[in-house]
Structure 1
């Protein structure tokens, strides 16, 4: 746990971070049990009287007062670094593909092979993505698995897997996994073409290449139709469109082809990569970005999910304070907090707080008139005790061999506000441990009693007064 609360952020958290944080808290409680959230629920109850915002506020308080907030931040940074490394690798792959397509060792370029190498896999993966975007199909790509694997290698720690699981669960429930995978895939292909096209321009500007078509079965007319079809989009941007004569001159022996024809083919190849490679990926990237943003804006808390269903009564209590019913009498004395704490109690009770099994309970010599609240060892015990305490003299018996933590201090503070007269009896423990308990109790403004008889005498004197 932190030594103190985090300072308030200068910028409000994004909806994605808010729901991601809430999902991480939900999964953590589902795996390792409920967290101590009394203060978190109190902070959430000060917000809007709606379950969704209160769940988000509770999760924000719990995350900021635990290592979970830092874990989500580290996972975000790790995921960004993994994405940058992945896109850098695809950019280098695009450079290598463009270099291999021009075959620099021979200086002769087969246009059909070059187009197949630079656009074939791209066209196939784009078609697969379009099919997987249909309703009812679940997209998954090697790039997304590689990205998650790289992120796991970068971000390590006990809560790293929890952050990843919460992120994926949130995207799946919001139906945002398809655009997220598309954003990853199209971004990778975009960087690949951003590396391939400049490489082609540099190589074609500094070396001499000859372009030709080679075929055994097809005629020059077939290549003419194919090249004209591919030229439909580049022609709109001013790239040359080869005709039948140009294709015929580029078949077989290319020695007779003029230098101007070779320049036209080089520009045509660049135009094809730009119009059929880069631009479709940029358009798909923009579509996935808008699609993902819309899904994230529609994120909402599902109150029926396990973990959130149990919070309904605590965050939306059936009985809430309705404010001031009528003004207090003007002539009555104003009571201070100390005077309120000494309001006479209706009965007395004893309570064991995480008492060791070797310590006897209830204590020997306990009168029959003293109510035994039993042992308080779990969250369910605390809920039971909250319902049973009714303005009583309470003796809280603690095991001084244990070290009081923040949860214990918060529980003491809650009991101190609920009981008019709360005293503490510490059993066992070394002198150093007892001094630690004394320090914690003094900060809580709680008084200790040396033994049970001293507390019984205190109760008798209070009732006599």
Structure 2
């Protein structure tokens, strides 16, 4: 089932989706050979006379008239669910970290240990990300590997790897992988702090804690300088800033410190998480979003890539119609075969698809109201059928002794989109071959009929209705 938003002409596809789809088609043809694209190229030639829009239009036609668009949609949904799972896990980790920071024992909280547990790993990973943004350095891939691994677990199938490969290849080509990883990482840390900060507020509002500094080597002056430096940003947002006397009192008997001092330390700890944890991640998330948007705007088709280089002559033919330079000479009327003329619409027809010569055609008992489109055994026959197949009901008679291939499936798909009621009759063939036909027709959502009479009864009841 196609995604209606993707196929609606009123909502053009985003540039990222268009190029992702084209890259998936290119990789698919590179791995498994060219697709049957005559109709796709005809649709692409209606686009402006530039190679890029025609390549994108050809890829869109092939994806929507095959299974590739469904594969991309499934991978997109799976990637979103994987991202949601990772961010939910990060939120739970933030809740656990906040709970552990306050539950150090008997309600007494070592501020240095709490800050290290809540901001230490965050500061380290943020510095690593900043250094990875420098040219020539590779970003960390642990979170991205977890995301891709989880996506593979959610989305299974032979084409799932193709969708992921095309997506990564496209992002690498426009150097958009670093901001993509930044969105993953900063989104996870933002979710973690959105879980940790409310948890701190709830715990500090419902339980009694005492805060203190503990040291063996450092002096109270060192903690005063450290706390004043950390308070530089929270002070701008109205959070309390402890002075030298408050730090000195907190290094003594923490239980004897005034309740107001304990409340100030609680707000100071929350302010440090907001200003040194949440806000840097939100800012980095916004920067990565703008960076990624800028890279995506630079998406373009490289015509020298394998797969697209071969399309230049077909999508940009060297011959052009320059116009008429004089009146055309009189042409004598030409007699045309009645079967080559386009048949009237809303009729019923039968077509033999690569039927063996030992199987008679047309079938016995075919009424005169059903048009015979003849045999279809070559490209020329398929082109003839394209000009004739405008039937409301079409019966495709196949030789089940042959093995269906991708070309056969593509031809079925093309006929299915030109005929509203397409059914298939398979003649002969061993059980193994019939099973292969059943699988192909099931993937194409095509119904089979056991014999000609059953199909005639079907179209008779349809006309009666």
TM-score of the superposed pair, with normalisation by structure 1: 0.73
Work out the CA distance in 1 between the residues paired with 2:410 and 2:112. 71
Match of 2:138 in 1: 138
- Structure-2 change in CA distance of 1:323 and 1:235 (3 Å): same
Match of 1:71 in 2: 71
Residue 326 (structure 1) shift:
3.7
Alignment of 1:27-66 (within 5 A): 27-66=27-66
Match of 1:393 in 2: none
Match of 1:83 in 2: 83
* 1:166 alignment partner, SS class: helix
- Structure-2 change in CA distance of 1:284 and 1:55 (3 Å): same
Match of 1:125 in 2: 125
Any gaps of 5 or more consecutive residues in structure 2? 342-352, 357-375, 384-397, 416-426, 430-447, 456-465
Larger gyration radius, structure 1 or structure 2: 1
8 Å CA contact retained: 2:19, 2:299: yes
TM-score of the superposed pair, with normalisation by structure 2: 0.73
Work out the CA distance in 2 between the residues paired with 1:188 and 1:411. 45
Match of 1:215 in 2: 215
Work out the CA distance in 2 between the residues paired with 1:277 and 1:56. 43
Residue 253 (structure 1) shift:
1.7
Residue 430 (structure 1) shift:
6.0
Any gaps of 5 or more consecutive residues in structure 1? 343-352, 357-375, 387-397, 413-428, 440-465
8 Å CA contact retained: 2:41, 2:315: yes
Work out the CA distance in 1 between the residues paired with 2:44 and 2:301. 15
* 2:138 alignment partner, SS class: coil
**1:47-66 Cα deviation digits (max 9, x unpaired):** 01111111100000000010
Match of 1:298 in 2: 298
Work out the CA distance in 1 between the residues paired with 2:286 and 2:327. 61
Work out the CA distance in 2 between the residues paired with 1:125 and 1:189. 10
- Structure-2 change in CA distance of 1:339 and 1:326 (3 Å): farther
Match of 1:321 in 2: 321
Match of 1:371 in 2: none
8 Å CA contact retained: 2:190, 2:281: yes
Match of 2:161 in 1: 161
Work out the CA distance in 1 between the residues paired with 2:29 and 2:277. 47
- Structure-2 change in CA distance of 1:82 and 1:212 (3 Å): same
Work out the CA distance in 1 between the residues paired with 2:324 and 2:84. 58
8 Å CA contact retained: 2:66, 2:410: no
Work out the CA distance in 1 between the residues paired with 2:122 and 2:286. 17
Residue 300 (structure 1) shift:
0.4
- Structure-2 change in CA distance of 1:325 and 1:409 (3 Å): farther
- Structure-2 change in CA distance of 1:88 and 1:262 (3 Å): same
- Structure-2 change in CA distance of 1:324 and 1:409 (3 Å): farther
Work out the CA distance in 2 between the residues paired with 1:232 and 1:113. 20
Work out the CA distance in 1 between the residues paired with 2:98 and 2:140. 27
* 2:317 alignment partner, SS class: coil
Work out the CA distance in 2 between the residues paired with 1:192 and 1:115. 15
**Superposition CA RMSD, Å:** 3.6
Work out the CA distance in 2 between the residues paired with 1:193 and 1:65. 45
Match of 1:391 in 2: none
Match of 2:390 in 1: none
Work out the CA distance in 1 between the residues paired with 2:122 and 2:29. 44
- Structure-2 change in CA distance of 1:116 and 1:152 (3 Å): same
Work out the CA distance in 2 between the residues paired with 1:255 and 1:304. 73
Residue 141 (structure 1) shift:
2.7
* 1:182 alignment partner, SS class: helix
Residue 399 (structure 1) shift:
8.5
Match of 2:389 in 1: none
- Structure-2 change in CA distance of 1:323 and 1:8 (3 Å): farther
- Structure-2 change in CA distance of 1:68 and 1:118 (3 Å): same
Residue 170 (structure 1) shift:
0.6
Work out the CA distance in 2 between the residues paired with 1:410 and 1:206. 65
Residue 410 (structure 1) shift:
10
Match of 1:268 in 2: 268
Residue 176 (structure 1) shift:
0.3
Match of 2:439 in 1: none
Is 1:100 matched with 2:74? no
**1:205-259 Cα deviation digits (max 9, x unpaired):** 1111000000000000000000000000001111111111110000032133111
Match of 2:18 in 1: 18
